């Protein structure tokens, strides 16, 4: 799964990287501890143009009565995203890219304590997670754009840490994922190639969703 990540790029750098026009209400950066239900940056393609927008991390199906109606859907499995009623329309029609500088996963020691790892691209480049999104409108009529990160089996670099990982979309595949380059996005939902990612242990301080600061990503 993917339950926490970091984003450190300034908004203008993200906009240039993804050739997207930035919205005016983007989340504050840097954020070294992005948690579920936080607002996140997301790249979408609409009307032949890319936009960098804010979304709530936690996909809310259109039939939900409230934002908290049902389980918190922060991830969607690549193997079933095209079949699950909550996700299947979004998988066909509403795909997005979620920028990240890195993400966290956990192992456990012999005493059951959670040991966090920070995972980044080996070359230091920003990551782009495959995502899906949904515009949800509550009873009060106020729309909220929500999203989920698609996950797949872990590659050999990460399998010793966790059996799942986010789908990382390579730069040359981003137009296809966003629907700008025709059909075939389903073939992108696979693990990142071996050697692309690296991981190191970080301080257990990140176990708290209230923790913040660059020190959360430093190796220990």
Position 214 in a domain:
no
212 part of a folded domain: no
| Tally of structural domains, the chain | 1
Q: What are phi and psi of 140, to 5 degrees?
A: -85, 0
Residues in the chain: 220
- Tell whether 89 is covered by a domain: yes
Looking at the DSSP assignment, which residues form a beta bridge with residue 119?
A: 103, 199
2 catalytic per annotation: yes
Residue 219 domain-assigned?
A: no
| Catalytic residue (one of 2, 137, 172, 180) | 2
- DSSP SS3 for 141: coil
Which has more confidence, 65 or 118? 118
Among the listed residues 47, 79, 96, 105, the single catalytic one is: 105
Does residue 220 lie within any of the structural domains?
Answer: no
Q: How confident is the model at residue 139 (pLDDT cuts 50, 70, 90)?
A: low
Exposure string over 139-170, b if 16+ CB within 10 A, otherwise e: eeeeeebbbbbbbbebbebbeebbebbbbbbe
Q: Is residue 170 assigned to a domain?
A: yes
The bridge status of strand 114-121 relative to strand 75-77 is unpaired
Per the domain annotation, does 72 fall within a domain?
A: yes
Rounded-to-integer distance, Cα 97 and Cα 127, Å: 9
If you average pLDDT over residues 180-190, what whole number do you get?
A: 96
CATH code, 196: 3.90.1680.10
Q: Can you give the residue range of the structural domain that contains 95? A: 5-206
Q: What percent of the chain has pLDDT over 90?
A: 91
Domain membership of residue 63 (yes or no) is: yes
């Amino acid at each position: 799964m993917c339950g926490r990540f970091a984003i450190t790029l300034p908004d203008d750098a993200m906009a240039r990287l993804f050739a997207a026009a930035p919205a005016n209400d983007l989340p504050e950066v840097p954020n070294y501890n992005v948690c579920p239900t936080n607002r996140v940056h997301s790249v979408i393609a609409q009307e032949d143009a890319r936009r960098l927008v804010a979304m709530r991390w936690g996909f809310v199906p259109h039939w939900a009565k409230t934002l908290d109606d049902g389980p918190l859907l922060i991830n969607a499995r690549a193997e079933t995203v095209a079949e699950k009623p909550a996700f299947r329309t979004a998988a066909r029609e509403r795909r997005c890219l979620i920028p990240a500088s890195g993400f966290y996963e956990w192992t456990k020691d012999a005493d059951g304590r959670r040991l966090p790892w920070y995972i980044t691209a080996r070359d230091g480049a920003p990551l782009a997670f495959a995502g899906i999104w949904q515009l949800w409108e509550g009873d009060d009529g106020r729309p909220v754009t929500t999203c989920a990160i698609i996950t797949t089996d872990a590659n050999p670099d990460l399998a010793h840490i966790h059996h799942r990982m986010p789908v990382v979309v390579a730069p040359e595949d981003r137009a296809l994922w966003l629907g700008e380059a025709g059909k075939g996005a389903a073939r992108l939902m696979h693990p990142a190639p071996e050697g692309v990612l690296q991981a190191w242990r970080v301080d257990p301080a990140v176990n708290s969703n209230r923790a913040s600061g660059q020190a959360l990503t430093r190796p220990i």
